[in-house]
Structure 1
Amino acid sequence: MTRRHLVFLSALAALAVFAAAVFLYQRHTLQHATVQASEQAGAMVRPHSPVIGPMAASVTIVEFFDPACEACKAFHPRVKGILAAFPRETRRVIRYTPFHREASVEAVMILEAARAQGKFEPVLEALLDGQRAWTGQGANASPRAWAIAQSAGLDVEEAHRYTAAGSVDKLLAQDVIDLKAIGVRATPTFFVNGKPLASADPDQLYKMVKSEVERFRK
């Protein structure tokens, strides 16, 4: 066996060890997330959480969601597609995850004010469509976000009165407590009937939901 072959085989062995380590780490992470989700089942969905879809749906997709997150925006149409594929069996529960700080908090304020006016979904769509216009804009972020929401039908004066009452602050504080208890560290993070999505893969999310839907159809 030549030296070249020995080097190649050594490199191949090292790659195999690395791949095994990655697999074991991912499995351990998924198992840990599953245990945490089970232990914190009461923190997964709160009565105040926004729900899209039938309340009595057999399959609940909990999404830890940041309206200022680009990945959340990218996932959004795929999640909508899953709900459309199983309209009677699925519902989406949104938990606010303000990892982008001021921009996220302002957007949550807007979304909750929109929900109080029965305009949650159109305002959510508008904020995500115009996300680049109001994130990363410093002092201009807030007025731009409010302007986008207004264009989607939000009564801004009424919305400011609603957010000034403080109920949104309490809701957001509870969501932050829950995401820490569950161990959420990135957005979007999904759980399907309490089971964590193993990777940030919308196709895998679809498969998980489909499997749960079929399980309940039997």
Structure 2
Amino acid sequence: MSQLQFIVRTMLVLLIAFTGADYLAQNVPARVEADGWARKRDALVRFYTPSVGRADAPVHIVIFMDPASEICRVFYPLVREMREADPDRIRLTVRSAVVVGDMDKVLEILEAARRQGKFWEVLEGLLHAQPVWVKKDEIRPDAAWKVVENLDIGLDMPRARADAASRDVFLTIRRDKGDTARMVVKEPAVFFVNGKRLPRPGVESLKKLVAESMDKAVSG
């Protein structure tokens, strides 16, 4: 190999190296950021997460809520009414966030109900009867089961109890609790609208963010 050929080949190798480094510098951070958002999006809504409303609705409200919280007991019906007032354009998803006591046993009840397509009925039944199974921040799972048994919604109770005690449900609850921690949810009710966290708690603040998201979806 001549000296000229050696120089030319060396320059080509360096050019490829610098070009590759430049490509990585420009694209890897973006890819990492995209991967980070993908993980955050998964933590926001899992494929099995209870949702109501059209999948292509322009506005998607996700609420992390604690069924044992009095705040959630008051807040949830208002959010439900908001969605029912505009069912074609608003989708609602509920995630469990534990703030009051040890809620695992009650979350297992809700997950077992979800597997029979009865999540919403059981959630609303437990919220309505919250004073029965929550006493001074003490969670009473047996009382919660009694509430569910009396709902008369066609829930297969033996199957529900078996599902609630299964390892599969245990792993689902653990995954959901991990999502809650990842989304930095520490309040009784935390809302996201189209992936954006509600800056201030309150119905009016939620309505404003929903309206803004609706306008953006329509104009976009």
Residue in 1 that maps onto 2:104? 105
- State the SS of the aligned residue for 1:93: strand
Q: Which residue does the alignment assign to 1:150? A: 149
Aligned counterparts of 1:205 and 1:137: Cα–Cα separation in 2: 29
Q: Determine whether 1:141 maps to 2:129.
A: no
Change (3 A) 1:167 1:101: farther
- Give the 5 Å matches for 1:162-173: 162-173=163-174
How many residues are matched? Answer: 182
In the alignment, structure 2 segments of 5+ residues that lack a partner are: 1-35
8 Å contact from structure 1 (residues 68, 107) kept in 2: no
CA displacement at 1:48 relative to structure 2: 2.3
Structure 1 runs of 4+ aligned residues shifted over 6 Å read 36-39, 137-140
CA contact 1:146–1:156 (8 Å) conserved in 2? no
Matched letter for residue 97 of structure 1: A
Secondary structure of 1:54's match?
A: coil
1:56-67 to 2 correspondences below 5 Å: 56-67=56-67
Q: TM-score, normalised by structure 2?
A: 0.75
The Cα of 1:188 is off from its aligned counterpart by: 0.2
Select the structure that is richer in helix: 1
Match of 1:128 in 2: 127
Give, in angstroms, the shift of residue 101 of structure 1. Answer: 3.5
Shift of 1:56: 2.4
C-alpha displacement of 1:75: 0.6
Identity of matched residues, %? 32
In 1, distance between residues paired with 2:163 and 2:101?
21
AA aligned to 2:52 is: I
What CA deviation, in whole Å up to 9, does each residue of 1:91-147 have, x standing for no partner?
111221122242x22221111111122221111111000001101279881221111
SS in 1 for 2:63: strand
Amino acid at match of 1:184: V
Query: 1:36-115 alignment to 2 at 5 Å?
Result: 40-102=40-102, 104-115=103-114
TM-score, normalised by the number of residues in structure 1 = 0.75
Number of the residue aligned with 1:13: none
Unpaired runs of at least 5, structure 1: 1-35
